[in-house]
Amino acid sequence: MSQEIQERVAELSAELHHHNYLYHVRNEQVITDAEYDRLFRDLQELEAQYPEHAQADSPTQRVGSDLSGDFAKVRHPAPILSLSNAFDEADLVNWEERNRRLLPADAQLQYVLQPKLDGLAIVISYEDGVLRRAATRGNGEFGDDVTANVKTIRSVPLRIPVDHDRGAAPERLVVRGEILFHKDAFLELNREQEAQGLPAYVTARNTASGSLKQKDSRETAKRKLTAYIYAIVDGAGDDLQSEWEALQFLSDMGFNVITEAALCVDLAEVARRLPDWEKRRDDLPFEIDGMVLKVDSFDQARELGVVGKDPRGAIAYKFPAEEATTKLVGVTIGVGRTGKVTPTAQLEPVFIGGVTVSNASLHNYEQVASLDIRQGDRVIVKRSGDVIPYVIGPVVGARAGGESAILPPETCPFCETALIQPAGAVDWFCPNPKCSERVMRTLEFFVSRGAMDIEGMGPQTIAALIEVGLIEDEADIFFLNAEPLLALEGFAEKKVENLLASIEAAKTRSFEQVLTSLGIDGVGSTVAGLLTDNFSSMQGLLDAASKIQLASESFAQTAEPLLAGEPSDDDAISKLRFRLRHPLTELVPRYLDATDLGDRLARLLKPLPSSADYLAALEDALSHLIAAARPLQSIEGLGPVLVENIVAWFTDDHNQSVLAKMLEAGVNMRAEEKVLSGSELAGQTFVLTGAMSVPRGEIKALVEANGGKVTGSVSKKTSYVVAGDAPGSKVDKALKIKVPVISEEELRALIGG
Ligand code: IVH
C-alpha cells in the first residue's frame, strides 16, 4: 500500500512538473487548466493524507509568482495567501468537517459567500487615509510596485474615506482586492482595436494583467480597468469582528466592494445558493470563475489558522471547467456585412461548462497563423460567459503528423471575387458589395432590433426575397408591395399586411437609428449619436464626406512629386512618405489645431527638401483638407480611423445609390429639431453630485432642455456644481477651485421654476 502511494505521488509529481515545464518554458499547453487543477488537487490530497511521502520538490510547494523585472519590489505587511479549491458540494462538506474538528464542539459557522473574480490580486496601502502604495500579489511575500498604474484606476480611492461623514480612516490600512475588466469595457477595447485594424485581445484577465504592468502609467490610464476590494490585510484595528463587518467598513470607506456578497447562516444555505450563482454568472458585469466562501467570524478564522499557503477559514468553490480539448475537424468560412472573412473551427462535439460545443471562433487567419493552429489538431477550446466559444490554441504535443495548415482562401466562397487584405489589416475582405452573403448579412442587420426594427423580416424571409430577385439591397425593402409578395410560398394575406405595415413604420425611425442601421464599420448607436448631434441630415454627411474626398485627392496630387521618387532605405523618408500617403489619419489629426501650419510642415518635410513655393502649395492643400475634415474630425469620440471609414462609406457609389433610393422611398434622413423649453442655461456647464429628488438623468434632461450642458467632472470651466443629498468629493473640489455650489431648488430657480 505504502509503496503504491509513494509511486502515485511520484507519478503525479512527474506529470505536473512536465506540464509546468511545457506551459511555462516551452509555451505549450497539453492539458487544460481544469485538468491540471484536478491532478494538482489529487496530489495535494495524497500529500495531506500521507505527509511522509510528500517530496521536497513537489509541485504543490511552488508558490505562484507574477513578479517581473520592470518594477521595484515591495514586501507585503502580511503574507498574501491564496485559497484551496472545492469542486463540488462534497468538497465543501469535507472542508467544514475538518474545520469543526479544530473548533469548539458548539461552534456556529456562518459564511460570507461572494463571487470569485477572475482578475489580478492587488494589495493597496493607505496611510492617514492617503493611498501610498499598490503592489501585485507577486510571490505572496513580495510584489511588484505598481502604485502609479493603480492610481489611474478610477474605482480605487486615492483618499479614504471618500465621504467625510462615513467615519475616519485608520492611521494605516492595507486592503486586498482584484483588478479586472468589466465585460463591456473589454468588448469596447476590442471594438477599438478592430476599428484601428489591430488584432483583438483574447482573454480579459491577461489583458488586465498586461495593462497593469505597463511601464508608462499613461498607457494603463487608457484602459478602463476596475478594482474591487474584498478583504483587509492589515490595520483595521480590533473593532471589526467579522468578514461581513469588514465588507461594510470597506464600503463605508468608499471602496468598490462586491455588492453581490451574501451572509449565509450555515453551509446548507451556501449550498442552496450556489446553483443560482452559476446560473447568474453570465449576467454579471465581470467574469467569475467560482465563488469564495469565508468563515464569517474573525475569531474562528484565526483559530483555524493557515495550512501551507492557504487559510483554512476560506475556500474557493470552482465552477465546472469552461475549457476542454477536442479535435479540429474542419474550418468553415463566413463573410460578414462589411465583407470581413472569418474562419470558424468545426470541432468534434465536446461538452464545456454544461453546453455541447461543435464549432468555435478562430478570430482571423493571422491569429490562426500566429498560434499555428492546424487542421486535424487537438485544440483547447474555451467557453466563457456569453461570448462565442473560441480556440485558445493547439495541443502541440498531441500532433500525429497528418495535420495541415489553415490558409485564407483566395476567393470569396460565396461570390468568387478575389479577397483583399487592406494594408496593415489582420483581416481579409470580400470587396464585392453585391456578394450574396454580404447582402444577406447587411439586410439581417438592417432590419434587426436596435437598427430599423422591421418585424416579420427574419432571415428566411430575406433569403426568399433575395432568391426571387425582389430585393437586392436594403433600400429595395421600402419598394415592396403586396402583389409579388402574395405570390411567394407561405405569404398569406395577413402576413403580407403586417410586414408592409412594419416596413412603413420603419420609414419614420430616428435619423440616429437609420444611421446605425447602415452598418458602417465602427458606427454603432453611440457613434451614430455623435454624428447626429453634429449633422442634422444624411445630406450633410454626404456633403462633408465628398468635400473630404475632393480635398484628399487634391492633396494627393500636390504631394505626388514627393512620393514619386525611388523607394528609400532611409527610415525618416519612408515614414514621411507614409504620412503623406495617408493624410487623413496621419496629418489632419496632428495639425487640426495648429496655428503655425507652414512651419510645422516645413519641419516635417526636412527629410525631403523642397522649394518655398512648393511648400506653400502643399500647405495650401493640407489646410484645405483640414478645413474639409474639421466638421468630422473635431467631434470628440471620433478617431481618425473611424473618420476614414465614414468618408469611405459615404463616398462609395453603391452606398450612395442605396441612400438615394431610401430617400426617394421616404425614409427619414434628418435629425429632429431639438426642442428647447428655454435657453436660460445656454453656455453654462453643470456637474451633478449626490441624490436629487428625481433620478439624476431627469435633472440632466432638464438642464439640456434649457440649453445647458452636464459634464462628469469639476473644472474651472464648470459654471455650477449642483449638490443633492450626500454629495461626493466633487463639492470639495468645487469649493477648492471656487466654483459655486447650488442646490437642486436653486437650479430650478435659475430656469425659472
Ligand atoms: S479572498 C486569504 N475573495 O482568488 C484569501 N479572493 O484562488 C483571500 N479572488 O488569490 C482571498 N475573488 O486573488 C477572495 N471575492 C474574493 C476573490 C478572491 C477573486 C482571488 C484572489 C485569490 C484567488 C484564490
Which ligand 1 atom lies nearest to the CA of residue 82?
10
For residue 147, the CA-to-ligand 1 centroid distance in Å is 20
- Angle between helix 459-467 and helix 436-447 axes, rounded to 10 deg: 140
* Nine-digit cell string for 587: 496629418
Nearest to 645 by CA among 191, 215, 216: 191
> Which atom of ligand 1 lies at the shortest distance from residue 118's CA?
19
- Asked whether 81 lines ligand 1 (CB < 6 A), one says yes
Is residue 394 within 8 Å of 378, Cβ to Cβ? yes
Confidence of residue 65 (pLDDT cuts 50, 70, 90): very low
Distance 410 CA to ligand 1 centre (A): 49
Ligand 1 atom 14: the closest Cα is on which residue?
292
Q: Which three cell numbers stand for residue 163?
A: 465621504
- The pLDDT mean for the chain works out to 88
Q: Is the CB of 231 under 6 A from ligand 1?
A: yes
Give the integer Cα–Cα distance in Å for 329 and 376: 5
* Given the residues 73, 116, 183, 495, the one annotated as active site: 116
Give the DSSP per-residue string, 466-506. HHTTS-SSGGGGGG--HHHHHTSTT--HHHHHHHHHHHHHH
Tell me how far the alpha carbon of residue 82 lies from the centroid of ligand 1, in angstroms: 7
Question: Residue 22: which pLDDT band, with cuts at 50, 70 and 90?
Answer: low
Nearest ligand 1 atom to the CA of 116 is 12
Per-residue pLDDT tens over the stretch 410-424: 999 999 999 999 887
Task: For residue 642, give the nearest of 62, 299, 323, 193 by alpha carbon.
Answer: 193
Please name the residues in contact with 665: beta carbons below 8 A apart, sequence gap of 6 or more: 475, 478, 479, 507
pLDDT confidence tier of residue 194, bands split at 50, 70 and 90: confident
Pocket test for ligand 1, best of 66, 112, 113, 116 (most atoms within 8 A of CB): 116
Q: Which of 40, 80, 230 to mutate to test the pocket of ligand 1 (most atoms within 8 A of CB)?
A: 230
**How confident is the model at residue 494, as a pLDDT?**
93
- What CA–CA distances, in Å, run from 421 to 192, 430, 646, 647? 19, 9, 19, 19
Beta bridge partner(s), residue 127: 130, 172
Residue 469 has a CB neighbour count (10 Å cut-off) of 9
Banded model confidence at residue 192, pLDDT cuts 50, 70, 90: confident
Q: If you measure from the C-alpha of residue 316 to the centroid of ligand 1, how many angstroms do you get, rounded to a whole number?
A: 8
Question: Does any ligand 1 atom lie closer than 6 A to the CB of residue 289?
Answer: no
CA of 230 to the centre of ligand 1 (A): 8
Q: With a threshold of 0.85, does the pTM exceed it?
A: no
The 10s digit of each residue's pLDDT in 25-48 is 455 667 777 778 778 888 888 887
Q: Is 155 in the pocket of ligand 1 (CB under 6 A)?
A: no
Q: What is the DSSP letter of 199?
A: P
d(CA 123, CA 140): 10
Backbone angles phi, psi at 733, to 5 degrees: -60, -45
- Our answer on whether the CB atom of 316 is closer than 6 Å to any ligand 1 atom is yes
Ligand 1 in reach of 633 Cβ (< 6 A): no
**How many CB atoms within 10 Å of residue 262?**
14
Q: What's the CA-to-centroid distance between 291 and ligand 1, angstroms?
A: 9
The CB of 82 under 6 Å from ligand 1? The reply is yes
Q: Which grid coordinates are listed for 631?
A: 466638421
Cis? peptide before 161, omega within 30° of 0 = yes
Cα distance between residue 696 and residue 693, in whole Å: 8
Give the confidence band of 660 by pLDDT, cuts at 50, 70, 90. very high
User: Per-residue b/e over 668-697, b at no fewer than 16 CB within 10 Å?
Assistant: bbebeeeeeeeeebeeebbbbbbebeeeee
**What DSSP string runs through 385-402?**
TTSPPEEEEE-GGG--S-
DSSP code at position 281: G
How far apart are the CA of 301 and the centre of ligand 1, in A? 15
**Does the pLDDT of residue 64 top 50, yes or no?**
no
Atom of ligand 1 nearest to the CA of 81: 2
Q: In this predicted structure, what is the pLDDT of residue 237?
A: 77
pLDDT (0 to 100) of residue 63: 43
**How many whole angstroms separate alpha carbon 528 and alpha carbon 530?**
5
> Residue 181: which residues within 8 A CB-CB, separation 6 or more?
119, 189, 204, 207, 208, 223, 224, 225, 226, 286
Lowest mean pLDDT among 22-31, 147-156, 207-216, 397-406: 22-31
Which atom of ligand 1 lies closest to the CA of 119? 19
pLDDT computed for residue 720 by the predictor: 93
The CA distance from 600 to 591, in Å, is 8
Gyration radius (Cα) of the chain, Å: 31
What three-state secondary structure class fits 12?
Answer: helix
121 Cβ closer than 6 Å to some ligand 1 atom: yes
Q: What is the pLDDT of residue 27?
A: 52
Q: Which residues pair with 134 in a beta bridge?
A: 124
What ligand 1 atom has the least distance to the C-alpha of 316? 7
- Does the pLDDT of residue 8 top 50, yes or no? yes
Residue 24: CB partners within 8 Å, gap ≥ 6?
none
373 lines ligand 1 (CB under 6 A): no
What's CA 224's distance to the chain center, in Å?
8
Q: Quick one: pLDDT at residue 211?
A: 92
Task: State which of 66, 81, 85, 178 you would mutate to test the pocket of ligand 1, scoring each by most atoms of that ligand within 8 A of its C-beta.
Answer: 178
Contacts of 580 (CB under 8 A, 6+ apart): 559, 562, 563, 586, 587
CB 689 within 8 A of CB 713: no
> Could you tell me the distance, in angstroms and rounded to a whole number, from the CA of residue 13 to the centre of ligand 1?
26
- Identify the CA nearest to 491 among candidates 283, 677, 483: 483
Residue 742 has pLDDT above 80, yes or no: yes
Closest to 327 in 3D by CA, of 343, 350, 344 = 350
Residue 647 pLDDT > 50, yes or no? yes
257 lines ligand 1 (CB under 6 A): no
622 lines ligand 1 (CB under 6 A): no
User: In the numeric block, which cell numbers belong to residue 134?
Assistant: 499598490
Q: How far is CA 332 from the centre of its chain?
A: 26
The confidence band for 700, taking pLDDT boundaries of 50, 70 and 90, is: confident
Closest-CA residue, ligand 1 atom 15, reads 116
* Residue 19 or 506, more confident: 506
Q: Is 292 in the pocket of ligand 1 (CB under 6 A)?
A: yes
CA–CA distance, 327 with 325 (Å, rounded to integer): 7
pLDDT tens, position by position, 676-696: 677 888 888 888 888 888 877
What does the pLDDT look like over 531-588, one tens digit per residue?
A: 998 899 999 999 999 999 999 999 999 999 988 877 777 788 888 999 999 999 999 9
| Ligand 1 binding pocket includes 138 (Cβ within 6 Å) | no
Q: What is the mean pLDDT of residues 120-143?
A: 92
Sign of the torsion angle spanned by Cα atoms 281, 282, 284, 285? positive
User: Of residues 17 and 215, which shows the higher confidence score?
Assistant: 215
Q: How far is CA 66 from CA 217, 254, 342, 378, 729, in A?
A: 18, 28, 34, 29, 35
How far apart CA 430 and CA 438 sit, in angstroms, is 8
Is residue 385 very low, low, confident or very high in pLDDT (cuts 50, 70, 90)?
low
Burial-class residue 206 by CB neighbours within 10 Å (0-12, 13-18, 19+).
Answer: exposed
Q: How many angstroms separate the CA atoms of 583 and 591, rounded? A: 10
| CA pair distance 121, 136, nearest whole angstrom | 6
Q: Confirm whether 116 is a catalytic residue.
A: yes
For ligand 1, whether the C-beta of 311 sits within 6 Å is yes
Q: Is 439 helix (H, G, I), strand (E, B) or coil?
A: helix
120 lines ligand 1 (CB under 6 A): no
d(Cα 407, Cα 404) in Å, to the nearest integer?
Answer: 9
Residue 196 has pLDDT above 80, yes or no: no
Position in ligand 1 atom list of the atom nearest CA 80: 2
Nearest CA, atom 23, ligand 1: 82
Residue 552's SS3 state is helix
| pLDDT tens digits, one per residue of 242-294 | 999 999 999 999 999 998 899 999 999 999 999 999 888 878 899 888 999 99
Q: Is the pLDDT of residue 664 over 80?
A: yes
Interval between CA 70 and ligand 1 midpoint (Å): 25
pLDDT in tens, 311-341: 999 999 988 767 889 999 999 999 999 899 9
pLDDT tens-place string over residues 462-508: 999 998 999 999 999 999 999 989 988 888 999 999 999 999 999 99
Q: What is the pLDDT of residue 278?
A: 86
Ligand 1 atom closest to Cα of residue 310: 2
**Contact yes or no for 322/384 (Cβ under 8 A):** yes
Closest listed residue to residue 516, CA positions, set 445, 441, 440: 445
Q: Is 178 in the pocket of ligand 1 (CB under 6 A)?
A: yes
Residue 171, Cβ density class (10 Å: 0-12 exposed, 13-18 middle, ≥19 buried): exposed
Ligand 1 near 262 CB (within 6 A): no
Q: Residue 539 carries which side chain, given as an amino acid letter?
A: Q
Query: Does pLDDT of 431 surpass 50?
Result: yes
Write down the pLDDT at residue 1.
61
CA of 83 to the centre of ligand 1 (A): 7
Helix, coil or strand: residue 564? helix
